[in-house]
Amino acid sequence: MCLAIPAKIVDLLPDDGARIELGGVRKEISLALVEGVAVGDYVIVHVGYALTRLDPDEAEKTLALFAELDDEQRQEALAASLANA
């Protein structure tokens, strides 16, 4: 399953390109499917393409939920590993 996730635009590049940052990782994507995007905007990214702009508050809420899920999975993995030790 692939997820479309929010990411912040940190640089605009030639030929409808942009550099995004997500979780400290930077990646180049295409902006060919959206118009009017600026540095600092959040976009929904799927397979290397920005699909739409996203309200900054909504982006932050979504990213916080992803972080919460990640923390829960890490805690469950640690508990399972300790139970099997």
- CATH classification for the domain delimited by 1-54, as one of 2.30.30.140, 3.30.70.20, 3.30.465.10, 3.90.920.10: 2.30.30.140
Instruction: Sketch the domain layout of the chain as residue ranges.
Output: 1-54, 55-84
Three-state helix/strand/coil letters over 49-77? EEEEEECHHHHHHHHHHHHHHHHHHHHHH
pLDDT band of residue 23 (cuts 50, 70, 90) is: confident
For the stretch 26-76, pLDDT in tens is 999 999 999 999 999 999 999 999 999 999 999 999 888 888 887 777 777
pLDDT of residue 16: 96
pTM for the complete prediction?
Answer: 0.79
pLDDT of residue 1: 56
Residue 84 has pLDDT above 90, yes or no: no
